[in-house]
């Protein structure tokens, strides 16, 4: 069972957190039952483990954040075996398990940016995680060519399977996104919402990119590197495309996320 350690090679031993189930882990969309220690700093984020899937947008979002802030972490492909929570991403830091990319961002904001998310930043994060990111997936799944491009990023046997069944997927899968997420808007609508939220600021956090900026950037990267039509729509607003260019120039995630 091989585990890839970002920036430090490959670790083959089982992480300590997987040997003993962690109590009090949160459910999806549920905040931590016990807040992270108030005195934790970035330097305290040791032995981080990210349970993930390589091209999953919420997983890319979390890996991008760790890369951006220089947090060394081990990647384990797939769900955490000893956890009741069967989705990804899951992050384990210093023996604390955090589930759900939105909850991970909320709880790491104070540590990585030195302050909790403002109401405006929280709104951007929620709009992306529970709206725009899903819309990007839905519209990509509805485009046969985009699915084939995404298959190349996955690689291996799954690449062949996704390419072969792409036309069938386009006919069947997209409707499920809308059934599971009533009220889901189009990528174009979310693009305009983000442009309004961004206003005249260079970043959603203001003059400097913060954890929400990095999370959005990372979550959108798999759609961008595969040249999906949905991502082209997202970037067809001048404010959003200018924000994207600034993120491209300021974040190391682009060169590390799929290496």
Q: What is the pLDDT of the chain when averaged over all its residues?
A: 86
State residue 152's pLDDT score: 59
Q: Please, are residues 83 and 25 in contact by the beta-carbon 8 Å criterion?
A: yes
Q: Please, are residues 139 and 234 in contact by the beta-carbon 8 Å criterion?
A: no
Per the confidence metrics, is the pTM higher than 0.85?
Answer: yes
Rounded average pLDDT over 160-187? 72
State residue 156's pLDDT score: 52
For β-strands 9-11 and 3-5, DSSP reports them as: antiparallel
Structure-model confidence comparison of residues 149 and 14, the more confident one: 149
Q: Which pLDDT band, with edges at 50, 70 and 90, does 171 fall under?
A: low
- Reported as a single tens digit per residue, the pLDDT across 134-158 is 999 999 988 876 766 665 566 554 5
- Reported as a single tens digit per residue, the pLDDT across 110-126 is 999 999 999 999 999 99
User: Comparing 165-169, 215-219, 236-240, 251-255, which segment has the lowest mean pLDDT?
Assistant: 165-169
Q: Scan for tokens 């108030």, then name that residue.
A: 38
Cα–Cα distance, 9 to 2 (Å, whole number): 11
Q: Which residues pair with 76 in a beta bridge?
A: 51
User: Over 70: is that where the pLDDT of 170 sits?
Assistant: no
């Amino acid at each position: 069972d091989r585990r890839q350690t970002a920036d430090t090679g490959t670790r083959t031993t089982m992480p300590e957190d997987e040997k003993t189930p962690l109590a009090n882990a949160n459910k999806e969309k549920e905040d931590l039952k016990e807040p992270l220690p108030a005195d934790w700093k970035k330097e305290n984020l040791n032995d981080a483990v990210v349970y993930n899937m390589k091209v999953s947008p919420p997983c890319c979002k979390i890996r991008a954040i760790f890369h951006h802030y220089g947090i060394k972490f081990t990647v384990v492909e797939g769900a955490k075996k000893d956890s009741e929570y069967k989705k990804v991403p899951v992050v384990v830091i210093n023996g604390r398990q955090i589930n759900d990319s939105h909850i991970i961002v909320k709880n790491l904001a104070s540590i990585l940016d030195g302050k909790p998310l403002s109401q405006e930043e929280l709104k951007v994060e929620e709009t992306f995680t529970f709206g725009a990111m899903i819309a990007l997936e839905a519209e990509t799944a509805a485009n046969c060519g985009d699915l084939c491009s995404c298959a190349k990023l996955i690689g291996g046997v799954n690449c062949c399977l996704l390419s072969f069944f792409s036309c069938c997927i386009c006919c069947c899968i997209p409707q499920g996104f809308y059934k599971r997420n009533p009220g889901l808007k189009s990528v174009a609508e979310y693009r305009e919402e983000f442009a309004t939220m961004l206003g005249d600021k260079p970043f959603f956090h203001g003059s400097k990119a913060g954890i929400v900026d990095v999370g959005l950037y990372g979550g959108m990267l798999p759609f961008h590197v595969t040249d999906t039509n949905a991502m082209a729509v997202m970037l067809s607003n001048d404010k959003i495309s200018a924000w994207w260019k600034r993120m491209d120039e300021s974040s190391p995630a682009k060169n590390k996320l799929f290496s």
